[in-house]
Chain A
Amino acid sequence: LKGKYLKDEL
């Protein structure tokens, strides 16, 4: 994943 954390929210 590119960002620092997974964007699991919508």
Chain B
Amino acid sequence: MNIFRLLGDLSHVLAILILLLKIWKTRSCAGISGRSQLLFAIVYTARYLDLFTSFVSPYNSIMKILFIAASYGTIYLMFMKFKATYDHNHDTFRIEFLVLPCIVLALAVNHEFSPLEILWTFSIYLESVAILPQLFMVSKTGEAESITSHYLFALGSYRALYLLNWVYRYYAENHYDWIAIVAGIVQTVLYCDFFYLYITKVLKGKKLQLPA
């Protein structure tokens, strides 16, 4: 555990809390992509099946359970409890275009051709692109509420901080995993446009609005 890794994890927890609080306090999931949230639930389910096969630390297990529980909690709030507020007319990204290539890629490029390893690899690939339906939704409506922007910033920062963690671990521990690193770079790059808008607009008190 190093500072980048810890900050990355905390940023991820913060993103989850912001999202759940936004939905709960405003009794609305307007502006949130249910398709991205569905992909995240698939990601954590596929990745953390190792909860049953290997134990790393209490911290590791608690975080995994938290991420799985929060993703299903979000799904429940969006598709059941606050279903009426779900903006599905703007949430139209075809997720099969993300899921199917990730399945094929995970079968083709992995560390070991075993069920758990392939599921882990699939989850890493899918996570890297899971935010696309959400970003597509923001670009379609041309704006995002500030709270949604904070959520996206925290969620994007998490993998960016993991990149620093991997640089650190490469030098300090000679540990590296090309699959996670390449996917992490892709994931972070997808947020770059949003990061720019967040820093130049939202942090200056303006609403995130895309240029017409």
A residues apposed to B, CB below 8 Å: 1-4, 6-10
Contact = CB atoms under 8 A, between A and B. Distances in A.
B112 A3 contact: yes
B87 interface: no
B64 A10 contact: yes
Q: Do most interface residues of chain A lie in helix, strand or loop, or is the interface mixed? A: loop
A4 B60 CA distance: 18
Given A2-B54, A2-B114, A9-B180, 17 more contacts: A2-B116, A2-B117, A3-B111, A3-B114, A3-B117, A4-B112, A6-B56, A7-B50, A7-B54, A7-B56, A8-B56, A8-B57, A8-B60, A10-B9, A10-B60, A10-B64, A10-B67
Where chain B touches its partner, the secondary structure class is: helix
Among A6, A7, A10, the one with the most B-chain Cβ atoms within 10 Å of its Cβ is A10
Interface of B: 5, 9, 12, 50, 53-54, 56-57, 60, 63-64, 67, 111-112, 114, 116-117, 120, 162, 165, 180
Contacts of A9: 5, 162, 165, 180
Nearest to B169: A9
A8 B60 CA distance: 7
